[in-house]
Structure 1
Amino acid sequence: MHTVHAVMAVKHRDLAKSRLSAALSADQRARLVLAMFADTVEAAAAVSAIGSLTVVTPDPLVATRARELGAHALAEPPAHADPLNTALTAAANDVRRRYGAVRLLALQADLPALRPAELADFLTVAPASRALVTDHTGTGTSALLAGAAPDPLAPRFGPDSARAHREHGAVAVLGHWPGLRCDVDTPDDLDTVQALGVGTATASALWEFGITTRGGEPVRTVC
């Protein structure tokens, strides 16, 4: 398993997760964004193949939390028609300025049920060039892996991103990685990750909101 350097993009908490508005208040959504981000970073950081993690965000609280968790934080680039992919590209460029011609991994920031073993397994079985993990819907992308330079990250996140990434040469890698595949955008997604078991930050936030899983304590088991 070769070393890879991960990048993540997190929008301002006040603008995130609007599709959860039927289940959570604006304040709860903002707190949940930060909690899911923290659990995702902690899970990724526990993978030995992850050489560094860089987070691009306009939110100072997210940036502070990223640094507390050992990640490198960057300010989001100026407004752009495609802010997510612009932010990830900026992070990828920054990583290669600092570390050289390294492999890159773009990871969604809302994977609260992610287990380190899932991500480690993906990095072990993925090809040396471009690869992706489709999300639980089958159309999105939860992780995008690029080979060493000159292979660019070339993120194409957005609607039907799995197809867009495949058309740009990424191979969809198969594997049983439910936590890696389940990002959270809707109340149904929130139910799914609770059933899988979430990390401690997300569990704490949901507990404070009065939300628990059908099985009881919504805490991710160690894997």
Structure 2
Amino acid sequence: MHTVHAVMAVKHIDRAKSRLASELSTEQRAQLVLAMFTDTVVAATAVPEVSSLTVVTPDPLVAARARELGAHVIDEPPAGDDPLNTALAAGARDVRDRHGPTHLLALQADLPALRTAELADVLAVAVGTRSVVIDHTGTGTAALLVRDTIAPLSPRFGADSARAHRAAGAVPLSGHWPGLRCDVDTPEDLDAVRTLGVGEFTTSTLREFGFSSHRSDPVRTVC
């Protein structure tokens, strides 16, 4: 199986997850973002086929944590109106500058219920040149995989990104990967990942906030 080099982008954590403001303070949201990022990195880098991880961020706490976890870090470039995709594209170019022609994986950084086996399965079944894992909403993107060693990443994350990635030639992958498909933006998303079961760092952070790390009752968002 061909290996991939993964790229993530994380903005300043004190500006993140504003839709969780009804549940968490600014400081708590920053802590949660860092914890979810950590669990995502731990799960993703445990996949044998993931050769490296590059994290693009302007945030010193995220950068420090990423380096602790063995990732390569680059600063967020000037972005204009599209910071996420600009950052991911810059990360992909940096990967190939350092490693030469490689396969690429762009992954969301807020997947606290991600299981290593899920991502390993995605890499095993994705044989096309460009593949996309659509998120639990049906409109967003959890992961973009480019199985072409010279084709650009060309990320189109953001509103209605699933449609945009399909329009650019990405083939949607089908599979039961609830942890991979469930990024966290809303209180309902947070309930959903707690139902799935989150990683060690998110568990600890939620307990510190007075939340249990698991929910057994039905939730409105199903991943």
Query: What is the TM-score of this pair, normalised by structure 1?
Result: 0.95
Distance 2:13 2:204 in 1: 18
Instruction: Show the counterpart of 2:203.
Output: 203
Q: CA deviation at 1:147?
A: 2.0
Instruction: Show the counterpart of 2:221.
Output: none
Distance 2:22 2:202 in 1: 18
Instruction: Show the counterpart of 2:215.
Output: 214
2:53 counterpart letter in structure 1: L
Please say if 1:146 is aligned against 2:146: yes
Which ranges of structure 1 fall in alignment gaps of 5 or more residues? 217-223
2:83 counterpart letter in structure 1: P
2:184 counterpart letter in structure 1: V
Q: CA deviation at 1:68?
A: 0.1
Query: What is the TM-score of this pair, normalised by structure 2?
Result: 0.95
Q: CA deviation at 1:214?
A: 3.0
SS in 1 for 2:152: coil
1:187 counterpart letter in structure 2: P
Instruction: Give the superposed CA RMSD.
Output: 1.1
Distance 2:74 2:89 in 1: 12
Distance 2:216 2:174 in 1: 28
Instruction: Show the counterpart of 1:52.
Output: 52
SS in 1 for 2:98: helix
Instruction: Show the counterpart of 2:220.
Output: none
Distance 1:97 1:147 in 2: 17
Between 33-42 and 72-81, report the one with greater CA deviation: 72-81
Distance 1:168 1:128 in 2: 13
Distance 1:162 1:51 in 2: 26
Instruction: Show the counterpart of 1:30.
Output: 30
Distance 2:167 2:77 in 1: 26
2:129–2:146 CA contact under 8 A, matched in 1: yes
Q: CA deviation at 1:189?
A: 0.2
Q: CA deviation at 1:215?
A: 4.4
Q: CA deviation at 1:204?
A: 0.3
Instruction: Show the counterpart of 1:221.
Output: none
Between 143-152 and 118-127, report the one with greater CA deviation: 143-152
Distance 1:77 1:190 in 2: 30
- Residues paired across the two proteins, number: 216
2:6 counterpart letter in structure 1: A
Distance 1:62 1:184 in 2: 17
2:159 counterpart letter in structure 1: P
1:157-176 map, 5 Å:
157-176=157-176
1:136-187 CA-to-partner distances (Å, cap 9, x unmatched) read 0000000000122321100000100000000000000000000000000000
1:152 counterpart letter in structure 2: P
